[in-house]
Amino acid sequence: MSVNDLCIACRLFGAQDYQGHVSFEDAVAPKGSLVLLGTPLLWTPARGGRGLPPRYLQGNQARGRKFYRHARPPSGVDPRACIKSDAELPLRIHFLNLSEAELGVLLTALGQHPDHPFPIKLGGGKPVGLGSVQVVCQRITLLQGADALKATGRLGQAKTLAGDGLNDFLTQCANAADELIDGDALGELESILGEAGLRETAPCRPLLKEDAMQWDKIMEAAKRLENLLRRADVDFNEAQKAIGYYLFKGCDDSAMERYLKEMAENPPPRSKRTQGYYRELYRVWQQWSPQCGLTGVDKARAWNWGIRMARS
């Protein structure tokens, strides 16, 4: 595969048989920054396997990419663990052998273009106003290894850019990236992701009576599961893995019961303690499943919330 055959995204982040040139360290949320926020219920556009609604289509094809504007989150009944507003998460991004143009594309995607700045959107709550992130580039450290190796046989010293020097370098990379970026599309993206949206509340459809009733059932079942788990000797991580299997099998109750029974009675080689956890999980499932009154994904939601409440 020739690198020239790859699009800019694949050249930066990698593709099959081609290693990317950019990597992100974990952005660790500071202590005390997690909060529980009630948001409207979210549903996939194609619920029930019926395909995309007509408003998403042009003929038989999707109308294009979907973007979420910045907004204040409305209130709702779906509790989500979120990072609270104004929290600062330190993050390091590593890049290797990028041209100035390619680095300019990366910085532009992070909202760092000097002429087209914007906050970005991250996470699963974007439709209801969550996930607005302002990236602040504080410094860039460059290690010009290739040139130093050719000249001296040793790696060169690191050069750190900050302040005015950093701003000049950002402008230089942005100018170099003009050859790779559609200027009209970038201007449109800036208008979509502009900060003005943060003064408005995200749209949401009214909560239907049946939605609220179903959510009440989910939380009731979760509370019953929490009580069972607190009285059982289980590993919550194993309980989380088990519901992952349930989802993988298409929310098949009988497959879940067979899996837990097999892991409890005849598991692959593992510690006796882990096998004991599955004996307890099998017992909990047998007690909880017939009485929870839920099926499918709603049952999985109740299981996950029961684990989350039992952990707290």
pLDDT digits (tens, 9 = 90+) for 262-277: 888 887 776 677 888 8
Distance between CA atoms of 104 and 137, rounded to whole angstroms? 13
The proportion of the chain whose per-residue pLDDT surpasses 70, expressed as a percent, equals: 89
- Whole-Å CA distances, 231 to 49, 261, 274, 304: 39, 20, 17, 17
Query: What confidence score (pLDDT) does residue 304 get?
Result: 85
DSSP string, 228-269: HHHHS---HHHHHHHHHHHHHTTS-HHHHHHHHHHHHHSPSS
Q: Considering only residues 40 and 154, tell me which one the structure prediction assigns the higher pLDDT.
A: 40
Q: Where are the beta strands (DSSP E) in the chain?
A: 14-15, 18-19, 22-24, 34-39, 57-58, 61-62, 78-83, 93-95, 120-121, 132-133, 140-143, 158-161
Coil vs helix vs strand at 107: helix
Q: 141 pairs with which residues across the strands?
A: 160
Q: 142 pairs with which residues across the strands?
A: 159
* Residue pLDDT, tens place only, 69-103: 999 888 776 777 889 999 999 999 999 989 999 99
Q: Which of 13-17, 27-31, 54-58, 172-176 bottoms out in mean pLDDT, i.e. has the lowest?
A: 54-58
Question: What is the rounded average pLDDT of the residues 31-57?
Answer: 77
Task: Rounding to the nearest 10 degrees, give the CA dihedral for residues 230, 234, 239, 245.
Answer: -140
Query: What confidence score (pLDDT) does residue 204 get?
Result: 65
Instruction: Specify whether the CB–CB gap between 177 and 105 falls below 8 A.
Output: yes
This prediction has a pTM of 0.65
